[in-house]
């Protein structure tokens, strides 16, 4: 069982309210892009265009069936030093 599997199993033991609170805390911890001014990010036009190219490329890969297992990817990310 991977760390991701263990985390998911433990999360499922929480009450609905506890899971919602955990989800809110996780979003705030891993996605601190919205600042007090309401700006979503600080990308310039060139960076935003590059992001959109990469997203479109990813969607095209998914359409071709070139996918990776999310649990494997998350496990690899978590195991990085």
pLDDT tens digits for range 21-48: 877 777 777 665 555 555 566 778 899 8
> How much is the pTM?
0.43
Of the pLDDT bands very low, low, confident and very high (cuts 50, 70, 90), residue 53 is very high
pLDDT tens digits for range 10-21: 777 888 888 888
Any idea of the CA torsion for 46, 64, 80, 24, to the nearest 10 degrees? 70
């Amino acid at each position: 069982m991977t760390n991701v599997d263990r985390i998911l199993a433990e999360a499922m033991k929480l009450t609905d309210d506890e899971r919602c609170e955990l989800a809110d805390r996780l979003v705030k911890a891993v996605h601190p892009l919205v600042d007090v001014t309401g700006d979503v990010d600080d990308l310039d036009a060139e960076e935003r265009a590059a992001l959109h190219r990469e997203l479109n490329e990813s969607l095209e890969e998914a359409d071709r069936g070139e996918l990776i297992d999310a649990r494997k990817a998350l496990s690899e990310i978590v195991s990085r030093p």
